[in-house]
């Protein structure tokens, strides 16, 4: 079983992956979450942000995304606690007036940062929901995905 699932030992029990013998390499990951907002909410979009009674939505979501990425090892079972060297969250409206969140995480280490990037993008999306729900509950967090990763055994780039 452990050959198919890296977080299970030979007997099928949960196990943290031992990265002790792995070499240090530069690791990066970019994740994206997309949020669809009601037009009632989008009417509050100005100066590259939405302002709610709770404050500037995108700016707050950026901070929440970075904070979440830094705490991924505490949130996701068996994830290694990592000292990120960089984490950037960017939020903008696309041509369909959907909110696109991209979280990029990086470090030089023995394990990848995909989960950190995915957690950052996800929590930023959840923060947007939380800050906008008083205006409308017609909000959909449509998708969260890994866009790319480098370092480790193999690189990945979504086509």
Over 50: is that where the pLDDT of 9 sits? yes
Kindly state the tokens that stand for 46: 């100005």
The model's confidence at residue 1, banded by pLDDT at 50, 70 and 90, is very low
pTM of the model: 0.94
- Give the model confidence (pLDDT) of 15-74 as tens digits: 888 898 899 999 999 999 999 999 999 999 999 999 999 999 999 999 999 999 999 999
How far is the C-alpha of 120 from the C-alpha of 101, rounded, in Å?
9
How far is the C-alpha of 154 from the C-alpha of 88, rounded, in Å?
23
3 state DSSP class of 79? coil
End-to-end CA distance of the chain: 30
Residues marked as catalytic: 130
Output the pLDDT for position 5: 80
Q: So what's the architecture of 25-151 in CATH?
A: 2-Layer Sandwich (3.30)
């Amino acid at each position: 079983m452990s050959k198919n699932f890296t977080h299970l030992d030979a007997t099928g029990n949960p196990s943290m992956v031992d990265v002790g013998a792995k070499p240090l390499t530069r690791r990066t990951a970019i994740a994206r979450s997309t949020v669809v907002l009601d037009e009632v909410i989008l009417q509050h979009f100005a100066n590259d942000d939405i302002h709610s009674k709770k404050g500037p939505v995108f700016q707050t979501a950026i901070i929440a995304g970075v904070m979440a990425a830094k705490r991924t090892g505490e949130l996701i079972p068996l994830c290694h606690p990592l000292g990120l060297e960089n984490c950037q969250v960017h939020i903008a409206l696309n041509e369909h007036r959907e909110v696109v969140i991209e979280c990029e995480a990086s470090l030089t280490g023995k394990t990848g940062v995909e989960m950190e990037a995915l957690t950052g993008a996800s929590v930023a999306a959840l923060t947007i929901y939380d800050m906008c729900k008083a205006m409308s509950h017609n909000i959909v967090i449509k998708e969260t995905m890994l866009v790319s990763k480098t370092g480790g055994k193999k690189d990945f780039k979504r086509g």
